[in-house]
Amino acid sequence: MNKIDNYRAAINKAIDKLEIGKEPAELYDPIKYMLSLGGKRMRPLLTLLAYSLVKDDWQAAIHPALAIEVFHNFTLVHDDIMDEAPLRRGKPTVYKKWNKNIAILSGDVMMVQAYDLLLESKAEDLAYILKLFNKCATDVCEGQQWDMNFENINQVSEADYIQMIQLKTAVLLGFSLELGGLLGGMSKEEAMKLRAFGINMGIGFQLKDDILDVYGDQQKVGKQVGGDIIANKKTYLLIKALELANEDQKSTLKGQLSKLNFDAEDKVEVVKSIYNQLNIQEVSEAKMNEYFKIAFNDLEQLDIPSEKLTVLKSFTKDLINRDH
């Protein structure tokens, strides 16, 4: 078993042991359900990887790492309501399995539990860490609001989109790494360099997610393929398609965006056909690779022996090549 597998096994074991609460069952069962769905556990893994750059006793950082995972899952519970998403990791979303009110309230409790776990940090400056977390959490909410706003805006620029995914997705990956570095005793300045790496890697990660939403295998991705197209999300793929399309293609795309009543499968097929004509998958992968390259350059700025960075680099390369 390699380091990543060790970390992931330890994270899953710690999640199983979390004291979630029992009554009322309607409040706590959705939390247990959501956390049991698994996922990549990427954010707590990044915290442990960052901690391990400085110290070897990575088990000491498990609970703060779990705080990030619980917070992340809280955002997913609420995002699924807003996006009206039927599936999460191949299973019914919390609001579909129970109802919207229960999902909102259970999500609220998850946010509180994230703070409880973060408070277990053995850090010299816990107030600083909590401030960073609050800023990160606010950024994530801003990103989600921009994402929803974009659904009702006719034209979104590439720069606006990159800024949105930086807030919605990338800052939490950056904070996950920064947290691990700080808990390990890294200076604030060095931890900020780790955060920069995480943010650029996170932008690349989200671009990969956008690509998989259209071109992934639903069985592997674990959520509805084409969901972004159905929801009129202004992803990088759509923004570039509108930019590169000829008049006929642009007219078809805008027609699909404006339809109130439509067959979901037909809409996905029509939009995906235009993407294929414009080589949008290749264009998007080039942009994704651009951000991963910047991220790897960020890593080189760290005052850390190169051999210590091997596992983190390998983990990042796996993110680039993933199919789900």
| Per-residue model confidence (pLDDT) at position 85 | 85
| Per-residue model confidence (pLDDT) at position 222 | 56
pLDDT tens, per residue, the chain with 324 residues: 689 999 999 999 999 999 999 999 999 999 999 999 988 899 999 999 999 999 999 999 999 999 999 999 999 999 999 988 888 888 999 999 999 999 999 999 999 999 999 999 888 899 999 999 999 999 999 999 998 899 888 889 999 999 999 999 999 999 999 999 999 999 999 999 999 999 999 999 999 999 999 998 766 655 567 989 998 889 999 999 999 999 999 999 999 999 989 999 999 999 999 999 999 999 999 999 999 999 999 999 999 998 999 999 999 999 888 877
Question: Smallest Cα–Cα separation from 299: which of 169, 154, 153, 201?
Answer: 201
Kindly give, in sequence order, each residue whose CB lies less than 8 Å from that of residue 149, ignoring residues fewer than 6 positions away. Answer: none
3-state secondary structure of 318: helix
Distance CA 126, CA 118 (A): 9
Read off the amino acid at residue 184: G
CA distances from 213 to 20, 167, 170 (A): 32, 19, 18
Tokens (6 digits) for 250 = 């642009």
Q: Count CB atoms within 10 A of the CB of residue 149.
A: 13
Which uninterrupted H or E stretch holds 91? Answer: strand 91-92
Domain count, the chain: 1
Distance CA 237, CA 279 (A): 10
Could you tell me the pTM of the whole model?
0.92
| Per-residue model confidence (pLDDT) at position 61 | 96
Tell me the residue range of the domain where 152 lies: 3-321
Cβ contact 175:136 at 8 Å: yes
Distance CA 87, CA 97 (A): 10
What's the DSSP call for residue 55? -
| Per-residue model confidence (pLDDT) at position 157 | 95
- 157: CATH: 1.10.600.10
Q: Helix 62-83 vs helix 3-16: angle between axes, to the nearest 10 degrees?
A: 70
The answer, yes or no, to whether the previous bond of 305 is cis (omega within 30 of 0) is: no
Distance CA 313, CA 141 (A): 29
| Per-residue model confidence (pLDDT) at position 90 | 84
| Per-residue model confidence (pLDDT) at position 217 | 76
| Per-residue model confidence (pLDDT) at position 118 | 96
| Per-residue model confidence (pLDDT) at position 39 | 85
